[in-house]
Amino acid sequence: MAGITLDTLLRRDRIIITISLVAITLLAWLYLLSLGDMTAPSEQPMESMEGMPGMPGMDMQGMTEAMLAPHAWAPREAFLVFTMWSVMMVGMMLPSAAPMILLYARVGRHAASQGAPFAATGVFGAGYVAAWFLFSLTATLAQWLLERALLLTPMLESANGLFSGVLLLVAGVYQWTPLKHACLSKCRAPLAFIQSEGGFRRDPWGAFRMGLRHGLYCVGCCWPLMALLFVGGIMNILWIAALAIFVLAEKVMPGGRWLSQAAGVILAAAGVWLIVRGLL
């Protein structure tokens, strides 16, 4: 009976893996929502100060400057920021990686039935996630540098219109580059990616490296869009969701390349407008 149950589960691996991917994505989004609630501004302190007489020695301008001044990150703070970015990338990118992961599971099941099993699907998925962990490390460093340069508000969104315009312009132009198209084509066609890599790897390290390479193609495809989180707010849940939906759409919808280029025109136009406004 146990053997029959196990065989049934193996035949339904697509369902199991799909449920697992959905569960991981939901957990990531729940974590982000909890962070968003924690960082949401509270109006109570401001309300409680309305009508209060000036207190001796209170310098409101000095207090504001102190709050906005850059500060050194402790190791714990740096780790928490890296964790935030890592979870955010998993929540945003894992849905668009589902076709590739499910294809790996399907081919792996067929190979196992032929007596030549692949490494576990989780090993391949771990390689994909590792690529975004590397991006998260870079994003953490970028956030630290931007905070030091006073280009981010306490709510972790752009504090400078010129800076926002440059990011939008870069993201818009990148949507039209050959590198963007090459990386997007790898993400949109999992089977073509596998064939270009010479087929799946059976050993765990080979499967991990293949997942890592696929993840790096996705990073190459989407990094300017992820940089736009600094424009709309790193903890702005609606902005995060909008970017995640767009990334998924350009990877899975028919005509994804044209969608990508159309978005590039809009982003570039918005960037130029903000730059001109900032220079006037």
Structure tokens at 179: 């590198």
Contact between 89 and 226 under an 8 Å Cβ cutoff? The reply is: yes
Q: Is residue 57 part of a domain?
A: no
The answer to whether residue 54 sits within a structural domain is no
Phi, psi values for residue 158, rounded to 5°? -55, 135
pLDDT at 15: 62
* Range ranked top by mean pLDDT from 174-188, 193-207, 243-257: 174-188
Report how many domains make up the chain. Answer: 1
Domain assignment present for 43: no
State the burial class of residue 24 (Cβ atoms within 10 Å of its Cβ: 0-12, 13-18, 19+): middle
**Does residue 45 belong to any structural domain of this protein?**
no
* Any domain includes 165: yes
Give 84-110 pLDDT, tens digit per residue.
Answer: 899 889 888 888 888 888 888 888 777
Give the mean pLDDT of the chain. 80
Sign of the alpha-carbon torsion through 16, 21, 26, 28: positive
pLDDT band at 189 (very low <50, low <70, confident <90, very high): confident
Whether the per-residue pLDDT at 185 is higher than 80: the answer is: yes
What pLDDT is recorded for position 3?
44
Q: What is the pLDDT of residue 67?
A: 40
Domain range enclosing 96:
2-37+71-279
Averaging pLDDT over each range in 5-19, 50-64, 131-145, which range is the top one?
131-145
The alpha helices in the chain, defined as continuous H runs, are 2-11, 13-39, 44-49, 60-68, 75-113, 121-148, 161-174, 178-188, 190-196, 204-227, 229-232, 237-252, 256-279
Token pair, residue 100, equals: 């590739």
Closest CA to 220 of 100, 91, 125, 131: 131
pLDDT reading at 1 higher than 60? no
Scan for tokens 């730059």, then name that residue: 275
pLDDT in the model for residue 28: 67
d(CA 171, CA 227): 8
The 10s digit of each residue's pLDDT in 241-276 is 888 888 888 988 888 889 999 999 999 999 999 999
